[in-house]
Amino acid sequence: MTIGEALKEEQKRLGLTSEAMAAGVITKGTYSKVVNGKLRLSSDLLVEILFKHNIDISDFFEMIKSTYMPKEKLIEEKLFSEMQQALNDHEVEKAEECLTKIKNQTSNKYLQQRAEITVAYLTNSTDKLSKNFKQAVVDELNNHSNWVKDLDALRLFNTALLILSSEKVEIEMNLFFIKLNRIKKISEQMEERYAILCCNYLDWKYRQQGEVNDNVKNALKYLSDLKLTAHFESYKVCGKYFGYLFNKEIDSAKNMRKSLLALGITVGVENWPV
């Protein structure tokens, strides 16, 4: 989908005329040329239109990324989604197939390492990953100047929770929250990635039979402080669930999980520890 086609789609969704969609930013004639692919729109004017009509920028760019994203990156995104789905569904065969595709079709070492860890986790063989492999993952994180702001490195750490030592995880999570507090502006995409990390860390920590520490408190607070929107609702629910667990309110946690499953909400919830 092109930018023009996406604008037309949003216009239809909002129930606006072309004139109303363009008003105050560009002329109706210019807008018509843009949506029909006869004229390119500057990034400044595009953002003005999106903000004017409260169109979510992340959602808008999701609509057009298949047209403008480099082919190699599109392949990586597709394979990443496939691997994530296999992990959520605990489909070992699909995960192994995806790992083969990732090795053959991409050169993204972060994605390759994450895929290796995922398959090892699903086959209960993380202990069989070589010392060299585990050290390579640690080195990738150690050598990265600020993995908190890098999406690929952040995803790697998220997956590496499964193989890193407890000490390493706690040190990195502590640094994560320190750096997070220094970031003045966070995009919605990164907010979501941080929420995923907090949920995964809480799950990891609980399964380690760990006590409540500052990292746990900070993770629960981050999830609790997320905006109350449909986009972040599942992460806030996750935070509430693990809040029950760490407060030893096991029955409340079980009831929440049971209620969510009864509503057909299974992604992630099925794999909750209690």
Q: Which of 125, 107, 108 has its CA nearest to residue 117? A: 125
> What is the per-residue pLDDT for 5?
94
54: left (phi over 0), alpha (psi -120 to 50) or beta: left
Q: Are 242 and 201 in contact (CB under 8 A)?
A: no
By percentage, how much of the chain surpasses pLDDT 70?
A: 100
Fold of 3-68: 434 Repressor (Amino-terminal Domain) (1.10.260)
Find the DSSP H helices in the chain.
3-14, 18-22, 28-35, 43-52, 57-68, 71-89, 92-105, 109-122, 131-143, 151-160, 166-182, 188-207, 214-224, 233-246, 250-262
pLDDT digits 0-9 by tens, 25-67: 999 999 999 999 999 999 999 999 999 999 988 889 889 988 8
Q: How confident is the model at residue 264 (pLDDT cuts 50, 70, 90)?
A: confident
pLDDT digits 0-9 by tens, 202-245: 999 999 887 899 999 999 999 999 988 877 898 999 999 999 99
Q: pTM for this one? A: 0.75
> What is the per-residue pLDDT for 77?
86
What is the spatial distance between Cα 3 and Cα 41, in angstroms, rounded to a whole number? Answer: 8
Would you list the domain boundaries of the chain? 3-68, 165-271
